[in-house]
Structure 1
Amino acid sequence: MTEYKDKQELIDEISSRAKLFIDEFSDIQEADKDKQIDGVDRSPSQMVAYQLGWLYLLLQWEEEEQQGDTVITPHPDYKWNNLGGLYESFYRQYETYRLQELCTMFKEAVQKIISLTEHYTDTELFQPGSRKWASSTPSNWAVWKWIHINTVAPFKSFRSKIRKWKKFNNG
């Protein structure tokens, strides 16, 4: 997994990868947003919904912990061994939105993640155990790893998926 020398490097990478990812959707027609392509496991709208789901889960975990609530990861209705069900819930949650609306929502959610990241101290961000929600699995990751695995990592991998989708859709 990528390591970051400091908070700003993580923020810069989130910002850069988010822009590269979401810019891929600028030339997709609304009529094609739900189109499935062989060899690509999600439609364009599902790709953005997936990202929105995880971004808002991160924000929700932090908010719940700050309110003194017990955080259940990944979600109170889904366990780690049922992520497929969680993803389906993301798709249902965002299925009625137009692709442009999803893209705008994505940009707003990324800004919230960046703001959250800016507000962490270096200790909170880089030391394991600073958040109960981040320590809720055996991995006991530091917060930055949770942010990375739910922003930078999928922004990269899903960018290749949307590029493949576009190639086969236009090909």
Structure 2
Amino acid sequence: MVVPSTKAELLEAIATTFDRLTIDLARGSTDRAREASLAGHAAGTMMSPADLVAYLIGWNDLVLKWLDRDNRGEPVDFSEAGFKWNELGLLAQKFYRDHEALDWVSLLARLTEAKTRLVDTISARSDAELYGGPWYGKWTKGRMIQFNTSSPYANARVRIRKWLKEKG
């Protein structure tokens, strides 16, 4: 898939990768959703399909938080307060814990809700705001959104498809 460089392309990338992912997630089994049988986001750890969805929810919520803080003229903590970019495995584990009480169906609904809120906030922005200049280092706002939404959706789809194939 081409790296988005406009709002329309970003929205298309999110829609396409999310739709493909949700088809595969729907094939997952509720009774195996908490089975820690996938390689985790931190080296040497394991996670469940539910943890994978929690990870996506966590990143979607984090991107929304970044955009909200930016809208209010407040400083944005990239990646997240208390976590450095080289500690993303620890951040992933936090996301797993944040959503461990949710069942499979609730996790999937929560992911869809977060994605819808992202689409709404992206839709309210101009191409100039999203791609007109750097936002974090050399990266535009649109590119930072893409790095943390459609790219993880695509990665998660690869992981869940492999899991479905291995686990039947």
Give yes or no for TM over 0.5. yes
**Residue equivalent to 1:45:** 50
Q: How does 1:3-152 map to 2 (within 5 A)?
A: 3-4=3-4, 6-37=6-37, 40-41=39-40, 42-129=47-134, 134-135=135-136, 138=137, 140-152=138-150
User: Separation in 1 of the partners of 2:161 and 2:3?
Assistant: 26
Q: TM-score, normalised by structure 2?
A: 0.89
CA contact (8 A) 1:24 1:162 kept: yes
User: Separation in 1 of the partners of 2:156 and 2:5?
Assistant: 25
Q: Give structure 2 stretches of 5+ with no counterpart.
A: 41-46
Q: Give the structure with the higher percent strand.
A: 2
User: Separation in 1 of the partners of 2:153 and 2:75?
Assistant: 29
Residues 6/65 of structure 1: CA separation in 2 closer, same or farther (3 Å cut): closer
Q: How many residue pairs align between the two structures?
A: 162
Q: Offset at 1:67?
A: 2.1
User: Separation in 2 of the partners of 1:100 and 1:17?
Assistant: 20
Among 144, 151, 165, the alignment partner of 1:167 is 165
Q: TM-score, normalised by structure 1?
A: 0.87
User: Separation in 2 of the partners of 1:63 and 1:117?
Assistant: 11
1:16-59 Cα offsets, whole Å, 9 max, x none, are 21011122121322221111226x43311111111111111110
| Amino acid across the alignment from 1:20 | R
**Residue equivalent to 2:44:** none
Q: Percent identity?
A: 27
Root-mean-square deviation over aligned CA pairs: 1.7
Runs ≥4 residues deviating over 6 A: none
